[in-house]
Structure formats: structure tokens, C-alpha cells
Structure 1
């Protein structure tokens, strides 16, 4: 019998663990009743939680040997948690799911059907609707438009990390070993035949979201830098245009001095122009510095996470 491995990143999700487990078990029981039989195993990744998340996972482990966990020494972030899950999970098929049930387990039978009957390598999920404020909605929409213009790979708007993948697909994702990871981009970069299914967004089963607006903005910037060199090209063009305009201005000043004589008037505008040019230079240096920082972290060859406990 084929096995589905479930990767479940967790950070301070104590109230959600048991609710998630019960819902997944219900879905697989219904599949069994409909003569769709798969073994399944859980890989909970405890990302340095400060609550009793790990204890809740251990309780499940006591009663179900198919429950496994990896517990980090500290919080390394969701990207590292998903990476740990992919590196440890077994099974013929692998699913990445959020423990808060915003990724409905009830979609699994449909996802399996697309892979088995329509020969897809991966089935991803896209939220059709989601309750969020105007600022977040605008920034999210803008991010996908920008990154798809800049990147060589297309990342579908509102796509979730929730997806079901074949073992071949997972093995190829694992070949990408970079330290700086933007998994949505990595999933798109490896290619393969992909199907997206849409569903209405649902509320968290318990607990609260740990993603602040600042963290989302930082994550978006990470994605753009990791999967595009367009910002570097923009910096080059901005620098070139600034130099060209400055050269024209210099020629104009020299000609005016020769033809009409010098003048001390206009120094406020001159100072403003100098500050503007310096601002452009610092902006370009910031872009270059961001890429250099990424290179610096890659060359350190630090592990993406450190495991404190595993079973």
C-alpha cells in the first residue's frame, strides 16, 4: 500500500495540534470507507516553540507510531521547518500542510485523484477568498505582480504552501540546497506537471497568526532577491541615468558661466540635487548590499536548522 507523508510545521501551535490530527484522521477514515486506501505518516516540525507544542505532539506519538517529530534548538523560521520536513519525510507522496487547518485536509482525496488519474506531479492550492485588511491585500497582490515581472519562473497569486507532491518531485526539490530559501519560488523553479485547485479561505482552527506585516514584507523582499537579479539591473540603470543627467547639468553650468558669467545664486537647489543624487547612490548600494549579504550567508555553509530532538 502506498504511503502519504504529511509535513506539518509548528510554531507555538499548542491548541491546534490535536484538532489537526483528529481532522486528518477523519479524512483518511472516510477515504478508507470509500475504498481509497493509503498509509499515512506525520512529520511535525517543532520550530522552537515556547509553549507546549512539543508536549502535545509527544502525546500523539504515544498512541500512534506513525507520528514523528523533529524539534529545533530554537526558532529558525518556516522555510527551515519545511526544509527539515522534506529531508526527513518518507512516503510515495508528500504533502505540506499548516497545522491551523487553513489548509483543509478534506482536499487531500481530490489532490490524490489528480496525481493518480491525470498524471500530475504536484497539486497545489490557491485561496479564492481570504479575510484580510486592505493594506495586506494590496501588498500581497502587488508582490505577486512584481515578482512575476522580474523572475523567470511564475508564482501563482495566493498560492499556499499546501501541496501534494510525488516522490520524484520532492527528490528534485531537495537538490536545491541553498541556505536562503523561498520555497514558493523553489517549488515553481523545479517545474514538472502542476495542477492548482482553488478553495475558499477558512479561519484558523485555534490560536493566532504569527506573521506580522513587517515579517511579510521582509519575506516578500527575500523572494524577489532570491529569484531575480532585476533589482541589480535597476540599480545599474538608475546609476547610469543619474550620471548622464549630472553630466548634462555640468555642461550646462560651464556654458552658462562662459556665456553669462558666474553666479552664487541657486545654492539651495544645488544642495537639493546633491542630496538627491546621494540618496540614489545609497539606494543602489542598498540593493547591491542585499545581494552581497545573501552571498555572505551562503558562503558560511551554516546548517539551515539545528535538531535538538527527533523521533
Structure 2
């Protein structure tokens, strides 16, 4: 949760009855990702009335991927369901998720079939990202599937063993695999407030996703450099042939500066791509934790079971 004070009461009013209908013991782990409004204070107040509510307060805003990692790390249950507090992920889908989980599926995905609540540019850029990522990566991300899903304890434990710190969670979810089922749903609009993701944040998340699970952007520059070198060699042969046969002068300043600027631009872009990967290696080498917890408050609920057949 990041500045979600306006949605909390409505969120718990919808979530708690759904969890109670499962007939299973449950906990609700709320990660406060450095909110600057009254989110934390309201969560502390709700601990008295919301059953099984645990609050994990991070020391600052670490970002969505880090906060999601913190929630997964602190969850105790036999199954874990990441969900945003803005109610764009309908809590009632959890009932169907639990049913499929009890039938033997390790992961139950919620796939958005209708995203009319999002603006057109966001829908199109999301579509382009999934298409590009799945074309260049070995780990295929299901299109229009976000973080809202159910994961068996075995899946959660596998995720917790992954050591990387620059984390793209959708890619990690796909990478671990396991038996999966999918539930389609129409994504509603936010219950209150505005999205905390700017266009720049989404762009950076897309770059993170592409560079975390594929080296194709690096490999492209090998082939592009080879192609440009071959073209330059062929063009050089043409110029030499023209001079020898017809006595023509070599092309002048305009064509020369065009080629130099073109090749210089290609080199800078290539260095930028290399820099993206090098920067990630640099950040990983530091070994800093993904997040830091300032305080954790337990709601005092009974510990959830660690097996899907437990009551």
C-alpha cells in the first residue's frame, strides 16, 4: 500500500467476507510502502476490528516490486494471494482461486479480459510490452496477467530462494513455473484515489522486465554492428571502383558527416544498452537488501495452515 488511506475501509469491507467464505484460516499481510498520508495510522486502527491483520511498515518507499517481495516473505499461509488495495483486483475471485488450488493447481492466475477502465495508451503500451517480452525472453509472461494470483506454499518458497535484488516480479512468477490455471475477469476502475504509477515509472518497469530475462538487446548490437560493417565495406568497394574506372572524386563533406553521425548514434545507443545491463550487475554486486522493515505489528490471529488440505 502506498498512500491508499481513502480505499482501506472499502477494501477490507469487501475482502474479509470473501476470505471468511473460504472456510480456511487466513491472515491479511498489509505492506505499507512508505505512505505519506494516513495509511499507516488507519491500518493500526483497523487491527482492532479486522481479523488476522498484520502490518509490515517499510522504512521508506522502496517501490512496488520490493513491497510485493516483502509481502511474500512475511506471508505464512499454505497459499498466498498478492492483491492491491485499490479494488481493481476483485476480492471475490479469491473463492474461485481457492477452489482451483484445492483441485491441485499450484498457481491460479487472474487474467484481465476487459481493461476499459485503463486509458487507451496504457492498454496499447501494455500489449506491446507483453508481445515484445514474450518474443525475446525464454520465460513467457501470460498477457494481461498482473500480480493478482494465488500461489501455493511450494511456489512461494521457490520465489524466496531467488537471490536477485533488482526484481521484476511478473517475470519471476513466470520463471518458477508450476501447474497453472487461469480465471478471466473484467478489470474495474479504482475504488478511490489515483494510480501511483507515472508513465516514467511504467517505462522503467518495462526496461527492467526486458533486461532481467533476456540478453537479446545485447545480442542485437552484435548483428547490427556486423551488418553496418558489411554495408560500409561494400560501399567502400563501390567508391574505389568508381575512382579507378571513372576518375570520380569520393563523396564530399555532407555524405561523410551523415555517415559519421549515423554510426556515432548507433554506438551511443549500443553503449546505453550495455550500460543498462552493467548498471544491474553493479547494483546486484552491492548485496543490499531489497527492503528494510521499520516495524511489524501482528494482529494476533492463529497461524494459517501450511498445506492446501488443512482446514
1:145 equivalent in alignment to 2:131: yes
Once residues 65 and 189 of structure 2 are traced to their aligned partners in structure 1, the CA distance between those partners, rounded to angstroms, is 22
Once residues 285 and 61 of structure 1 are traced to their aligned partners in structure 2, the CA distance between those partners, rounded to angstroms, is 51
Which residue, out of 240, 250, 258, partners 1:254? 240
Which residue, out of 100, 110, 113, partners 1:125? 110
Give the 5 Å matches for 1:55-134: 55-64=41-50, 66-117=52-103, 119-131=104-116, 132-134=118-120
Once residues 153 and 257 of structure 1 are traced to their aligned partners in structure 2, the CA distance between those partners, rounded to angstroms, is 53
- Pairwise CA distance, 1:264: 6.2
1:215 equivalent in alignment to 2:214: no
Once residues 62 and 28 of structure 1 are traced to their aligned partners in structure 2, the CA distance between those partners, rounded to angstroms, is 17
Once residues 133 and 108 of structure 1 are traced to their aligned partners in structure 2, the CA distance between those partners, rounded to angstroms, is 26
Which residue, out of 27, 31, 36, partners 2:18? 27
- Pairwise CA distance, 1:68: 0.9
Tell me what 1:191 maps to. Answer: 177
- Provide closer, same or farther for how the CA distance between residues 98 and 237 of structure 1 changes in structure 2, counting only shifts above 3 A: same
Once residues 13 and 122 of structure 1 are traced to their aligned partners in structure 2, the CA distance between those partners, rounded to angstroms, is 27
SS in 1 for 2:92: helix
Encode CA deviations 1:225-247: one digit per residue, 9 max, x unaligned: 00111111111111111111122
Work out whether residues 239 and 284 of structure 1, in 8 Å CA contact, stay in contact via their aligned partners in 2: no
Once residues 265 and 207 of structure 1 are traced to their aligned partners in structure 2, the CA distance between those partners, rounded to angstroms, is 61
SS in 2 for 1:91: coil
Which residue, out of 44, 49, 52, partners 2:38? 52
Structure 2 gaps of 5+ residues are 298-311
TM (norm. structure 1) is 0.91
SS in 1 for 2:57: strand
Question: CA RMSD, aligned part only?
Answer: 1.4
Once residues 293 and 109 of structure 2 are traced to their aligned partners in structure 1, the CA distance between those partners, rounded to angstroms, is 28
1:15 equivalent in alignment to 2:6: yes
Give the 5 Å matches for 1:289-308: 289-308=275-294
Work out whether residues 239 and 250 of structure 2, in 8 Å CA contact, stay in contact via their aligned partners in 1: no
Encode CA deviations 1:254-307: one digit per residue, 9 max, x unaligned: 333333335265321221111111111111111111111111110011111122
- Pairwise CA distance, 1:87: 0.9
- Provide closer, same or farther for how the CA distance between residues 303 and 263 of structure 1 changes in structure 2, counting only shifts above 3 A: same
Once residues 73 and 258 of structure 1 are traced to their aligned partners in structure 2, the CA distance between those partners, rounded to angstroms, is 73
How many residues are aligned here?
Answer: 296
Tell me what 2:307 maps to. Answer: none
Once residues 177 and 230 of structure 2 are traced to their aligned partners in structure 1, the CA distance between those partners, rounded to angstroms, is 42
Once residues 260 and 294 of structure 1 are traced to their aligned partners in structure 2, the CA distance between those partners, rounded to angstroms, is 54
Encode CA deviations 1:77-132: one digit per residue, 9 max, x unaligned: 00000111111110111110011111111011111110112x10010101111123
- Pairwise CA distance, 1:186: 0.5
